[in-house]
Structure 1
Amino acid sequence: MKLKLVPIQEEEKEILRNLLEKYLYEFSQYDGGTVNALGLYGYSYLDNYWTEENRWAFFLKADGKLAGFAMVNDYPESGEKTDFCMSEFFVMYPYRKHGLGKEAAFALFDRFPGTWQLKYHPKNIPSVHFWNRVVAEYTHGEFRSVPGNSQFPYGDGSPGQVLYFTARKG
């Protein structure tokens, strides 16, 4: 599969909103998220990706087809100053286990060199394994893992696990 990171234009926001609903539904098994009166999870910061600086959203495309998305910003959640934060990252099921997620993550890290923070939910075991493996490989083991950051918990009260590392332009 050939991966392409495609910056999302404002007129494509509804496509991202639709994918976010799938992502948030899947994530609800870990954080206990529920839908609103309209049957939607909603994403409070979606519009901010086109109204504020330092927020970037990308479609992940595999062989020209939508395969997921990634959202990056410079708003660290852990209280420690970093240059970039992986806000959201989603690869749809048919595209998992093909190396697409790793390739997309590496491409994003290369695109945004600097210090990174990456927070993940400890109950999301596939994510725990994915991010630990990908960041370890990308940095050749040069990263710091901070388990149980209770300063910025998830909706279910679980403390986020945080990885800190430096991305160098590839």
Structure 2
Amino acid sequence: MIITKAEQNDKHIFRQLMTLFLHDLSEFNSDLEINQSNGLFEFDVLDWLFEKEGLTPFFIRIDDKIIGFILLQSGPFSNQEFADYVLNSFFIMKKYRRQGLGREACKVFFKQLPGRYAISQIKTNTPAIQFWKNVYKSFDIEYYEKEEREEGHEIIYQYFKV
């Protein structure tokens, strides 16, 4: 498994994966709707990911096949008092879930980018919450958890260091 930075010429691929991610997330976030003119879930600041320092998209690959992505915030897009990195989005395509690949991706990623992290989940997204708690347990990561309210949603944050 390798994790590689998505480059400008990969934007169209990342856009499609983001559409799948937002579709899955819409089960837990009623604010997410498809664009009525093209029928897709769209990430309104997608271009920023390829233009602004501190927003970095990564592909998760196995045998040269993209199976998911990670969207990382750092610098001015992280809460530098508490975290060097905010893991904004983590996505594994359904076909590849429940095989340990998400956990393996975390292992590889955290080895590549050690530091202080913040990760959040919508409180109703119990599969994501359980996934991250299993990751912390697997890697013996001690974390601090905090609940917040953002844009009308109850959010659970975990803070930890790797």
TM over 0.5: yes
Instruction: Give the gaps of 5 or more residues in structure 1.
Output: none
Tell me the TM-score normalised to structure 2 length. Answer: 0.89
- The code of the aligned residue for 2:60 comes to L
SS of equivalent to 1:30 = coil
SS of equivalent to 1:29 = coil
Identity of aligned residues (%): 27
Q: Among 145, 149, 161, which residue is 2:156 paired with? A: 161
Task: Please list the CA deviations of residues 119-162 of structure 1 after superposition, one character each: whole Å capped at 9, or x if unmatched.
Answer: 01111111110011102332x2411111x311x24xxx221100
Structure 1 stretches of at least 4 aligned residues deviating more than 3 Å after TM superposition = none
Q: Among 19, 22, 28, which residue is 2:20 paired with? A: 22
Distance, in Å, in 2 between the alignment partners of 1:88 and 1:123 is: 16
Distance, in Å, in 2 between the alignment partners of 1:142 and 1:65 is: 32
Specify the alignment match of 1:113 in structure 2.
Answer: 114
Aligned residue pairs, count: 158
Instruction: Give the gaps of 5 or more residues in structure 2.
Output: none
Distance, in Å, in 2 between the alignment partners of 1:158 and 1:132 is: 20
Q: Output the aligned Cα RMSD.
A: 1.7
Alignment of 1:1-170 (within 5 A): 3-32=1-30, 33-38=32-37, 39-74=39-74, 75-76=77-78, 81-138=82-139, 140-146=140-146, 148-150=147-149, 152-153=150-151, 157-167=152-162
